[in-house]
A and B are shown apart, each in its own frame.
Chain A
Amino acid sequence: MYTAEFDYHKVSSVADALAALAANPDAKLLAGGHSLIPTMKLRLAAPSALIDVSQIEGLKGIRLEGETIVIGAMTTHREIEHSSLLKEKCRILPEQAALIGDPMVRNKGTIGGALAHADPAADYPASMLALGASMKIESSSGARVVSADNFFLGMFQTAVQEGEMLTEIHIPANTLGSAYEKFAHPASRYAIVGVAVVKHAGGNTRAAVTGAGASAMRLTKLEAGASSGLVDAADLLSDHVASAEYRAHLVDVMARKALARV
């Protein structure tokens, strides 16, 4: 319950955040804080400083830009859950947001924070892969856009490098349907297996799973038409709550349920 000592900087623009990050190499960006603060309280993390980016106005909100939905990184789960734009054009995200934590967590937690943290059992990574989303990453030397397929690199690892921050999520606005089915961990209610399936405008289906492995991954066999044996248990996590074999089975079950609703 007691963190190590740290400095706290509150910033109001991306430029200020990047400058503060450059000045404090051991710093962590603070968004909703629902993953970071508990790890600091358990003293599993002890950053020298927190740079609070949660109040940067330019990073909040959901808007349509042509055929792309742009979600600011500091948009909360609650805003996503209740967004009429998303409900109309990308229902999988409100559906997922409603499954995250409880109302208090959803009021504070942000999509950018969740994606940059890349918890292997977080919900959004599956939909990002299935949607073919891309992430805008900014640094003092400029901005770059990375596809979801190249964003999640492993357990708690993303394409965001030192001195960079995730600022926007770009999602195609013309998908034809989507669904997410989650088998939740009984205690944490994170995903043991969460399968996202999205039908795209070109007629192709993209699907991905989160929770089952070290990071979210595409379900290429499902995309190719298979309905079972979608993942190899050897590639999955295994623990006292769910063995790899059981997770592999759950991927098939959750995929079947998601496909039925897409």
Chain B
Amino acid sequence: MTQKFVGQAMKRVEDPRFITGAGNYTDDIAVLGMVHAAMVRSPYAHAKIKSIDSSAALALAGVLAVLTGKDLVGAGINPIPTGWLLPDLKISAHHAIQPEEVNHVGNIVAVVIAESRAIAEDAVALVDVDYDVLDSLSLGSDALAEGAVQVHPEAPGNMAFDWNIGDSAAVDAEFAKADKIIRLELKNQRLVANAIEPRASLAEYKRAGEEYTLYTTSQNPHIHRVMIGAFIMGIPEHKLRIVSPDVGGGFGSKIFQYPEEVIVLFAAKKVGRPVKWTARRSESFVSDAQGRDHESVAEAAVSSDGKLLALRVDTIANMGAYLTTFAPAVPTYLYGTLLNGTYKWNAIHCHVRGAYTNTVGVDAYRGAGRPEATYLIERIVSMAALELGMDAAEIRRKNFIQPDEFPYQTPVALAYDSGNYEPALDMALEKLGYAALRVKQAEMRKQGKYIGIGVCTYLEACGLAPSALVGSLGAQAGQWESALVRVAATGMVEVLTGSHSHGQGHETAFAQVVADELQIPVEHVSLVHGDTARLPHGWGSYGSRSAPVGLSAITLACRKITDKAKKIAAHLLEASSEDMEHVDGKFQVKGVPERNKSFFDVSLMAHLAHNYPADLEPGLEATHFYDPKNFVYPFGTHLAVVEIDSDTGSTKLIRYVCVDDCGPIINPLIAEGQIHGGVAQGVGQALLENTLYDKSGQLISGSYLEYTMPRADDMVQLEIGHTVTPSPHNPLGVKGIGEAGTIASTAAVANAVIDALEPFGVKHLDMPFTAEKVWRVMQPKLAQAADD
């Protein structure tokens, strides 16, 4: 029996190079004659550029050029387009270098190209920009308020879009007959993505052939090629190669087309030298697309026995200063459609207004819309339980979609393919010892100790997505994925995938699947990704799509290889290919296993073609373009337990149980790693992370001295379980796991904190649950108790 690799917790083959400094990141790449770029960034949130005097900078030895927005516009460089169009979307031009006006702190007004980065930075200080400072906006609700300052003339009232989904009349009817209305006002605070590797780009231009190469930190190099080539710079796609080598984390922030990539390409041709730029961390804070930033009012109509009837949501999404690549989709189609959660609502309506402000653009960040939706639903369901005097787990159980109701059409467009929510809930409750912990919690409260248990029974939609569907919703991209499986004469296999690995471990997990499909040793498989010159067109990795979409393409390409190999083997064995079977790594005649050919025999003959079927092409490689039939719908239950120190208001996570259902698991070690990282990011949002802009649009939390990232000692050992409900519509039945942890954990931890604060009469509190904030809501009762 051939060894099966799928399902094994194999250690990641990429890790030795990452942890020994042998990775090949963009900033590691040096090419002959390379010079360096440093950006001149606006210190103001909103200002007119009156003039730019570069003379002192140009006079500095080693400075090659200072380029401004006028240089780019004059050379016919177009603004960076938005990649997802909603009806009546108001788009303001986003130039790689703004020629006339800046709209957030960090907006680029000029670039210095110099022999070294140090000289370039010295010269940046010498570029004299005269600004006419304007009033600015940081908060979405301020931007939409009457009489607000205008960010862009193209968007009256700062409204980028006004979007609805669901049946508001049906919702009104449900509200009219409901026993109780639960109302929740919440803020989902803005987050900085904080990939460990800052963004970097290196551009080369070769006059011979007029060819450009851009090495850049991207989750999806082909998207950059289309955007830069076809829309921004007018470079024929076959003259523009984008290489995205090892990438140190993306979390969404490296999906997007950024100004710096355009700038280095433009400058490389202009100065006739390769140009590199690597973000300083303080640049990352003011230039990487940020996440979340919603202000919402939600109302749930419920019956007195805990039946969820209807949900009404009104959200202001702060989009920042510009609509970046996928920005319009995140608070609309990736948010409003997810508001059904795991429950049977009769009706849902969601209204979202996108607001322009003078802040960094907001786009997809791990989960992208689904964490915002999950946080809102799971908070309001827990609030309903509290107000109805029900248990937080039982209200969920009562409202779950049942396993025999799939496929399930929600009131907000999505049709769930499969699901079975109760076993995950039961397993999680059992792991936690939920009932006993509730008893303990009550006893502890009597002693003035406050623990809280948070329940979150999430669902997410990932594996973006049927191309025709996303196209009809405004995507300016397809969402299929490509694979090319190439077998060498010796049987070694190269897999070229449009999916991109920036920490996910594809080189290991994908190889496990290929090895099983082709019945060959896993070491015989190597993965190629992130280079438009080597790959068929692909759409990259985001939205937990690599396994359900990218790996489906690979699997189906492998099956084409196997089919062809059977024909070659049949010819060699003088048998009919219908009589061939693929067993234990051999192609053998059914019923006569001793008549067989190995994978090596077949690969070799495919290349030699000396003894070969007349009607078959030589060679052994196959391409497959896979367009998914639907999203996939991972789900699960996460339970968080926190303890609050009433002396200081400090919240500590003390236990965390999660049971996730992502279908069959390819590599449990990698899947659990994704859960660990995802949960940590969600815990970070709930307890720690704090993107603070002041009234003038300055980012107060613009460094790690102020921006609180979760660290090892903020976490607990996760208690992990799985249920397995395969997706019915892809060849492996797999669903994504990359974002589930983040989607679920923020709500689980928030519910735990609010649960702990129940004795203090707290029904809701906005994240992050920082010590002073928690201490303040506890004060009235504590002070009263001290007086008694």
State the A residues within 8 Å of B (CB).
Answer: 1-2, 4-5, 42-43, 183, 186-188, 240-243, 246, 249-250, 253
The residue from B117, B775, B776 contacting A2, defined by CB atoms under 8 A apart? B117
The residue from B647, B700, B771 contacting A240, defined by CB atoms under 8 A apart? B700
Whether B772 pairs with A243 at a CB distance below 8 angstroms is yes
Contacts of B55 in A (CB 8 A): none
Partner-contacting stretch, out of B72-80, B614-622, B703-711: B703-711
Whether B118 pairs with A242 at a CB distance below 8 angstroms is no
**In the assembled complex, how far is the CB of residue A102 from the closest CB belonging to chain B, in whole angstroms?**
10
The chain A residue sitting closest to B125, CB to CB, is A43
Asked whether B339 is an interface residue with its Cβ less than 8 Å from the other chain, the reply is no
Asked whether B282 is an interface residue with its Cβ less than 8 Å from the other chain, the reply is yes
Contacts of B688 in A (CB 8 A): 186-187
Q: A2-B118, A187-B709, A188-B706 are in contact. Are A246 and B280 (CB under 8 A)?
A: no
The chain B residue sitting closest to A243, CB to CB, is B772
Whether B648 pairs with A253 at a CB distance below 8 angstroms is yes
Q: A2-B118, A242-B772 are in contact. Are A186 and B700 (CB under 8 A)?
A: no
Tell me the complex Cα distance, A242–B704, Å.
17
Whether A4 pairs with B122 at a CB distance below 8 angstroms is yes
Tell me the complex Cα distance, A1–B776, Å.
39
Contacts of A242 in B (CB 8 A): 771-772
**In the assembled complex, how far is the CB of residue A100 from the closest CB belonging to chain B, in whole angstroms?**
15
Whether B692 pairs with A246 at a CB distance below 8 angstroms is no
Tell me the complex Cα distance, A243–B121, Å.
37
By secondary structure, the B interface counts as loop
Q: Which of B125, B690, B706, B770 has the most CB of A within 10 A?
A: B706
Contacts of B282 in A (CB 8 A): 42
Tell me the complex Cα distance, A2–B707, Å.
22
Q: Mark B131-162, 1 if CB is under 8 A from A, else 0.
A: 00000000000000000000000000000000
Tell me the complex Cα distance, A241–B772, Å.
7
Tell me the complex Cα distance, A242–B690, Å.
13
Whether A188 pairs with B705 at a CB distance below 8 angstroms is yes
Tell me the complex Cα distance, A249–B118, Å.
46
The chain B residue sitting closest to A187, CB to CB, is B708
List B residues 93-140 near A (Cβ within 8 Å): 117-118, 121-122, 125
Tell me the complex Cα distance, A2–B125, Å.
12
The residue from B117, B705, B775 contacting A249, defined by CB atoms under 8 A apart? B775
Whether A183 pairs with B121 at a CB distance below 8 angstroms is no
Whether A187 pairs with B706 at a CB distance below 8 angstroms is yes
A-B pairs with beta carbons under 8 Å apart, 14 shown: A2-B122, A43-B125, A183-B648, A186-B688, A186-B770, A187-B704, A187-B707, A188-B705, A240-B690, A241-B772, A242-B771, A242-B772, A246-B776, A249-B775
The chain A residue sitting closest to B779, CB to CB, is A249
Q: Which of B281, B701, B704, B705 has the most CB of A within 10 A?
A: B705
State the B residues within 8 Å of A (CB).
Answer: 117-118, 121-122, 125, 280-282, 647-648, 688, 690, 692, 700-701, 704-709, 770-772, 775-776
Contacts of B118 in A (CB 8 A): 2
Contacts of A241 in B (CB 8 A): 706, 770, 772
Tell me the complex Cα distance, A257–B281, Å.
38
Contacts of A188 in B (CB 8 A): 704-706
Whether B772 pairs with A246 at a CB distance below 8 angstroms is yes
**In the assembled complex, how far is the CB of residue B653 from the closest CB belonging to chain A, in whole angstroms?**
13
Whether A2 pairs with B121 at a CB distance below 8 angstroms is yes
**In the assembled complex, how far is the CB of residue B501 from the closest CB belonging to chain A, in whole angstroms?**
27
The chain B residue sitting closest to A247, CB to CB, is B772
Whether B772 pairs with A1 at a CB distance below 8 angstroms is no
The residue from B117, B281, B708 contacting A186, defined by CB atoms under 8 A apart? B708
Contacts of A253 in B (CB 8 A): 647-648
Contacts of B706 in A (CB 8 A): 187-188, 241
Contacts of A183 in B (CB 8 A): 648, 771
**In the assembled complex, how far is the CB of residue A10 from the closest CB belonging to chain B, in whole angstroms?**
21
The chain A residue sitting closest to B768, CB to CB, is A186
Contacts of A2 in B (CB 8 A): 117-118, 121-122, 280
Tell me the complex Cα distance, A235–B763, Å.
34
Contacts of A243 in B (CB 8 A): 772
Tell me the complex Cα distance, A90–B440, Å.
41
Q: A1-B280, A241-B770 are in contact. Are A187 and B705 (CB under 8 A)?
A: yes
Contacts of B771 in A (CB 8 A): 183, 186, 242, 246
Q: Which of B700, B707, B772 has the most CB of A within 10 A?
A: B772
Besides A43-B125, A186-B708, A186-B770, 13 new A-B residue pairs in contact (Cβ under 8 A), listed by A number? A2-B117, A2-B121, A2-B280, A4-B122, A186-B771, A187-B704, A187-B707, A187-B708, A188-B705, A188-B706, A246-B771, A246-B772, A250-B648
**In the assembled complex, how far is the CB of residue A119 from the closest CB belonging to chain B, in whole angstroms?**
11
**In the assembled complex, how far is the CB of residue A258 from the closest CB belonging to chain B, in whole angstroms?**
13
The chain A residue sitting closest to B776, CB to CB, is A246
Tell me the complex Cα distance, A7–B313, Å.
61
Q: Which of A2, A242, A243, A249 has the most CB of B within 10 A?
A: A2
Tell me the complex Cα distance, A188–B776, Å.
22
Contacts of A246 in B (CB 8 A): 771-772, 775-776
The chain A residue sitting closest to B119, CB to CB, is A2
Tell me the complex Cα distance, A186–B701, Å.
12
Contacts of B775 in A (CB 8 A): 246, 249
**In the assembled complex, how far is the CB of residue B652 from the closest CB belonging to chain A, in whole angstroms?**
12
**In the assembled complex, how far is the CB of residue B127 from the closest CB belonging to chain A, in whole angstroms?**
14
The chain B residue sitting closest to A3, CB to CB, is B118
Contacts of B281 in A (CB 8 A): 1
The chain A residue sitting closest to B700, CB to CB, is A240
Tell me the complex Cα distance, A85–B701, Å.
41
Contacts of A187 in B (CB 8 A): 688, 701, 704-709
**In the assembled complex, how far is the CB of residue A76 from the closest CB belonging to chain B, in whole angstroms?**
22
**In the assembled complex, how far is the CB of residue B427 from the closest CB belonging to chain A, in whole angstroms?**
33
**In the assembled complex, how far is the CB of residue B710 from the closest CB belonging to chain A, in whole angstroms?**
10
Tell me the complex Cα distance, A169–B648, Å.
33
Tell me the complex Cα distance, A5–B121, Å.
11
Tell me the complex Cα distance, A249–B649, Å.
11
Q: Which of A183, A186, A242, A250 has the most CB of B within 10 A?
A: A186
**In the assembled complex, how far is the CB of residue A177 from the closest CB belonging to chain B, in whole angstroms?**
22
The chain B residue sitting closest to A189, CB to CB, is B711
Contacts of B707 in A (CB 8 A): 187
**In the assembled complex, how far is the CB of residue A81 from the closest CB belonging to chain B, in whole angstroms?**
17
Tell me the complex Cα distance, A193–B234, Å.
58
**In the assembled complex, how far is the CB of residue A233 from the closest CB belonging to chain B, in whole angstroms?**
13
**In the assembled complex, how far is the CB of residue A109 from the closest CB belonging to chain B, in whole angstroms?**
16
Contacts of A43 in B (CB 8 A): 125
- 3 A-B pairs closest in CB distance: A2-B121, A187-B708, A186-B708
**In the assembled complex, how far is the CB of residue A220 from the closest CB belonging to chain B, in whole angstroms?**
23
Tell me the complex Cα distance, A242–B776, Å.
11
Contacts of A4 in B (CB 8 A): 122
Contacts of A5 in B (CB 8 A): 122
Tell me the complex Cα distance, A126–B706, Å.
23
Tell me the complex Cα distance, A43–B701, Å.
18
Whether B705 pairs with A240 at a CB distance below 8 angstroms is no
Tell me the complex Cα distance, A253–B776, Å.
15
**In the assembled complex, how far is the CB of residue A187 from the closest CB belonging to chain B, in whole angstroms?**
4
**In the assembled complex, how far is the CB of residue B763 from the closest CB belonging to chain A, in whole angstroms?**
23
Contacts of A249 in B (CB 8 A): 775
Contacts of B647 in A (CB 8 A): 253
Tell me the complex Cα distance, A249–B772, Å.
10
Tell me the complex Cα distance, A4–B776, Å.
44
Tell me the complex Cα distance, A142–B706, Å.
41
Tell me the complex Cα distance, A241–B773, Å.
9
Whether B692 pairs with A240 at a CB distance below 8 angstroms is yes
Tell me the complex Cα distance, A5–B7, Å.
56
**In the assembled complex, how far is the CB of residue B484 from the closest CB belonging to chain A, in whole angstroms?**
40
**In the assembled complex, how far is the CB of residue A24 from the closest CB belonging to chain B, in whole angstroms?**
21
The chain B residue sitting closest to A249, CB to CB, is B775
Tell me the complex Cα distance, A253–B701, Å.
27
Tell me the complex Cα distance, A71–B708, Å.
34
Contacts of A42 in B (CB 8 A): 282
The chain A residue sitting closest to B649, CB to CB, is A246
**In the assembled complex, how far is the CB of residue B40 from the closest CB belonging to chain A, in whole angstroms?**
14
Contacts of A250 in B (CB 8 A): 648
